[in-house]
Chain A
Amino acid sequence: MKVAVPLFGSDVAPRFGEADRFLVAESYHGTVRSREVVEMDRIGDWMFRLSELEMLGVKVLLCCGFNRYYWPLAIERGIRVITGATGDAQTLVNAFVHGEKLPLLPCCASPEQIRYQCRIEHRREDVRMQLTSGFNKRKD
């Protein structure tokens, strides 16, 4: 399974649409088999970027900011998006592949949001699955 992370230096880029480089890692049975940094053109062209990731065989996109209105475009291409990821990109990929807890910013932050739980249900689902460690330890 291939995982992509948009880069800002060595950190996760603040926004998927603005990153000009992506770390693409391939995992196999809980280990990282290969890593490469892929340059990406057309800043802001979501269709193009998602198509490029699809072409590279990416199945999971770990990123910090991802406009939720574009989420169906990623789903359509078979790419699962986990938002709110922060910190060093390599560490993040390792944590994901090894099924460890991901450094995610909360999406249910303010009291009113906590009351209604997360609005981005897919993300809550991802986090819940990750926390129960049934997601990341899945065989590739």
Chain B
Amino acid sequence: MVRYNAMNVPEELFELVFHSINEGVFTVDDNFRITAFNSAAEKIIGIPAEMAIGRKCHEVFKANICQHRCALKHTLSTGKPSSDIRVDVLDANMDPVPIEVSTAVLRDSQGKMIGGVEIFRDISDIEMLRGELSHRHEFSKIIGASRAIRAVLSMVPQVAQSDASVLIQGQSGTGKELVAGAIHELSRRCDKPFIRVNCAALPDSLLESELFGYVKGAFTGAVKDKPGRFEKANNGTLFLDEIGDISPAFQGKLLRVLEEGEFQPLGSTKTHKVDVRLICATNLNLEQMVREGTFREDLYYRIRVVPFHMPSLAERREDIPLLIDHFVKLISARMGRRPPGFSPRTMRLLYEYHYPGNVRELRNILERVLVLCNGDVVEPGCLPGELYGPRHVEGYWDGNATEASLSALAQGAVSTLPPPPAEYLPKDQAIALKQALQAASWNRNVAAERLGISRTTLWRRMKKYGLA
């Protein structure tokens, strides 16, 4: 029998529309228990309607706003709808999925509130492709939540406000260019050019013409005037990558330009004045080069007004899961495939590898894995050999490896993890705790504030280390 509602529309039609739309839709009663769950919601969350209905919505969605900023709760308590709120949920595979949600109140024919409705759509592909296609250097492109990367990121907005020269040092593949781009983006010069020059890629003669430009007839082949990068970066930012690779002779020329703010293009007698913010980067130890006399001390101090150290991936190992998550989604979206899962053993191997090529190497490994592995789950066999190579076994190279350690290697039980950061080691934690308490004259409120923990945690630790 076909049932009709007040508007004389068959309920089957409602069902059909409800399950046909691309947006996930679910309704809840006033206790936040799910009363309806459409097919798109099943697909996005990975939980069938029959399992979801009757459960509290936070159990099914596991969103980052459920506990403290629930949009539906806000709508039900105020009666006001909300729209396009960016939320992260965890699907049935415990994969984070970015969604946009809109909420509204459900009322019966008498106008009495009977629950709420939430409509949401998966925006993971959009977010990934938007990030990939954008050539802007955004803060958001620097992925990481570790203390080491947070320390760098916290300095960027402050440094961006000044025009001081910045020197970014760090190993290859750590994201020096991203930081340079972020400084430019947050500076008052953001709408002016950001010009990048790789100093290592050009010999002195070419570097000079590239940076300062030349006039017609300056040399054979100079058939017309060409502005240099300094001129192109006027009022903007000039990023000199691999500054440690320039010759001592060119260092002198560069210093002169930086100090006087003016230069002459090759073959010209006319002086050009420019207003350029300089950011330099290198993977070499400039301080040591200065001591050895291979890098000019005066140039070093001229470019190193604000120094940045980019931590290697080994120094921020806790960011590896986040980076894997980010790159897998990014590469999968570009390849038009669903992000695969990783078996625990694969994740462990990825987590334990020492990454001499840093984030760039991690990204390349994942790209290779996604190209070669077509399955839904990435197994260790898809990983390149170096990730589980024999160098992880102590004594392997000098022939002193024990049978037990080789056997452990075969079973994947050999850990190559570096020690966790000092603050997480119980011994150092006890010392840090005692020092903080002494510095605060044993005032627990002050000590807790200094350590960035609550009084409860402080008290728990004091008891643990016998300081209470």
Interface on A for B, CB 8 Å cutoff? 8, 11-15, 17-19, 38-48, 51-52, 55, 64-73, 75-76, 83, 86-87, 105-110, 113, 116, 119-122
A-B contact pairs, 30 of them (CB 8 A): A8-B67, A12-B59, A15-B62, A15-B64, A19-B67, A39-B456, A39-B457, A42-B452, A44-B145, A45-B145, A47-B421, A48-B424, A55-B461, A65-B94, A67-B321, A68-B94, A69-B321, A69-B322, A70-B321, A72-B347, A72-B351, A73-B351, A75-B344, A109-B42, A109-B45, A110-B48, A113-B46, A116-B377, A119-B341, A119-B377
Within 8 Å of chain A (Cβ to Cβ): is B318?
yes
Chain A binder among B50-58, B133-141, B152-160, B436-444: B50-58
- Find the A residue at minimum CB distance from B147: A47
Per-residue A-contact encoding for B447-462, CB less than 8 Å = 1, 0 else: 0000011101100110
Q: How many A-B residue pairs have CB under 8 A?
A: 144
Contact A71 B377 (CB under 8 A): no
Distance to closest chain A CB from B376 (angstroms): 5
* Given A71-B347, A119-B341, A18:B67 Cβ within 8 A: yes
Distance to closest chain B CB from A31 (angstroms): 25
Interface of B is mostly: mixed
* Given A14-B66, A66-B94, A113-B46, A72:B464 Cβ within 8 A: no
Docked Cα-Cα span, A87 to B59, in Å, equals: 8
Which B residues touch A106, using CB under 8 A? 47-48, 51, 92
Residue of B48, B66, B325, B424 near A69 (CB, 8 A) is B325
Contact B376 A116 (CB under 8 A): yes
Chain A CB within 10 Å, residue with most, of B59, B344, B456, B457: B59
Interface on B for A, CB 8 Å cutoff? 42-43, 45-48, 51, 55-56, 58-64, 66-68, 90, 92-96, 145-146, 318, 321-322, 324-325, 341-344, 347-348, 351, 376-377, 415, 417, 420-421, 424, 426, 452-454, 456-457, 460-461, 464
Which A residues touch B42, using CB under 8 A? 109-110
Contact A67 B94 (CB under 8 A): yes
Which B residues touch A72, using CB under 8 A? 321, 344, 347-348, 351
- Find the A residue at minimum CB distance from B65: A18
Docked Cα-Cα span, A123 to B183, in Å, equals: 43
Docked Cα-Cα span, A39 to B347, in Å, equals: 30
Contact B377 A11 (CB under 8 A): no
Which B residues touch A69, using CB under 8 A? 321-322, 324-325, 347
Residue of A39, A47, A65 near B318 (CB, 8 A) is A47
* Given A15-B67, A86-B55, A107:B457 Cβ within 8 A: no
Contact A120 B94 (CB under 8 A): yes
Which B residues touch A18, using CB under 8 A? 64, 66-68
Further pairs besides A8-B66, A76-B351, A119-B376: 9, Cβ < 8 Å: A8-B58, A11-B56, A15-B63, A19-B67, A43-B68, A47-B318, A47-B420, A68-B347, A106-B92
